[in-house]
Amino acid sequence: MSTTGNGHNGNGNGNQPIVEAVSAESEVGSAVSGKIAPPPGQLKKADFVSDQEVRWCPGCGDYAILNNVQKVMPELGIPREKIVFVSGIGCSSRFPYYMNTYGFHSIHGRAPAIATGIKCANPDLSVWVITGDGDALSIGGNHFMHAIRRNLDVNYILFNNRIYGLTKGQYSPTSEFGKKTKSTPVGTIDYPINPLSLAIASESTFVARSIDIDVKHLGVVVEAAARHKGISFVEVYQNCNIFNDHAFDSFAERSVRTDRVLYLEHGKPMIFGKDRNRGIRMNGAHPEVVTIGEQGITENDLLVHDIYLKDPSVAFMLARMEQPDFPQPVGIFRAVERPTYEDMLVDQIDAAVAKFGPGSLEKLINSGDTWVVE
């Protein structure tokens, strides 16, 4: 979406801006000029749906994620011209085409770098990075880590399907050990990356996980991420029904989910199970699964979830809990406050200008050691 005639500062709220075009990075290059954008309070999900044909395989989990993000957008009260979606390369990276906002379909693994530039150049924008397990954690691993440790106020959603889908079924950085694929016909000997562990180790101030088919939960997580000030990292277990179908069925299927998924809720004991009679408690330095009512165990013995802990060690421990030894944790693992990179950058520039003056680019170029090539 491009804008004209929008003379507003800040978050763009104010009189109705005049906008033209209706899609991010329109593939056909067409624009409908003179259309009046509704004020943020009157936006609906349909206002965030672009005119582009969605080109994912039927049954792909990406549809659920797209649908939830489009649902959440109106609730945030942010004008469309103040929202930017940035993606790299992969199936998930077609996302900006389908959002009626600004967008960049960028290069492999470099979406965080571009998002960093956007946020630093215009901190008032709501910036989203959309990526996959291959795009983010293989070629983009370096950018992933640095964007997170800087605590940019950026929303980072990683679609984890544990496979390379766009290139037709090779193993990815999150593929389970021993997985047989087109590129590992006798099984991979790479140990998989745990995306949440990496995000927490990089000091992400907001870390969460959800499942593509758990639509209500996914919507709550996405909205919470969007409202967090600082980097918001969300991993979504996303089924690739063509090249890695049923990857998460062992715990994500509705028939077994209550017994095999732990829904983390702030301030509440970690309880799961169809009968709500199983929980997580600490046994020394290690978590363990217990049954309430057995051996005198009560809810008071269980670990109570606290998303505001400054120390990330508990969140890291939870991120390491996996099937079949533990229920698969989903929800918000961590949500702490820390100054954001872009705010500190603005403050640093303002302080330098106040101390040294606005400066001169010409003087800077011609200062210090210079050489004349003859």
**Residue 119, domain CATH:** 3.40.50.970
Predicted structure pTM score:
0.86
In a domain, 304, yes or no: no
Q: How far apart are CA 66 and CA 238, in angstroms?
A: 12
Strand-pair category, 35-36 with 328-335 = unpaired
Q: Please, what sign has the CA dihedral across residues 49, 55, 60, 62?
A: negative
Q: How many domains does the chain have?
A: 1
Range of the domain at 70: 38-247+339-343
Q: Looking at this protein, which amino acid is placed at residue 161? A: N
Strands (DSSP E) contained in the chain are: 2-4, 18-20, 35-36, 83-87, 102-105, 126-132, 154-160, 206-211, 232-237, 261-264, 271-272, 278-283, 286-291, 328-335
In a domain, 278, yes or no: no
pLDDT digits (tens, 9 = 90+) for 72-123: 999 999 999 999 999 999 999 999 999 999 999 999 999 999 999 999 999 9
In a domain, 80, yes or no: yes
pLDDT in 10s for each residue of the chain, 374 residues: 433 333 333 333 333 332 333 333 333 333 334 456 677 778 999 999 999 999 999 999 999 999 999 999 999 999 999 999 999 999 999 999 999 999 999 999 999 999 999 999 999 999 999 999 999 999 999 999 999 999 999 999 999 999 888 888 888 999 899 899 899 999 999 999 999 999 999 999 999 999 999 999 999 999 999 999 999 999 999 999 999 999 999 999 999 999 999 999 999 999 999 999 999 999 999 999 999 999 999 999 999 999 999 999 999 999 999 999 999 999 999 999 999 999 999 999 999 999 999 989 898 888 888 888 98
Q: Output DSSP code: residue 245.
A: T
In a domain, 110, yes or no: yes
> 239 and 213 in contact (C-beta within 8 Å)?
yes
In a domain, 324, yes or no: no
Decide: helix, strand or coil at residue 367: coil
In a domain, 195, yes or no: yes
In a domain, 258, yes or no: no
Decide: helix, strand or coil at residue 142: helix
Q: Output DSSP code: residue 164.
A: B
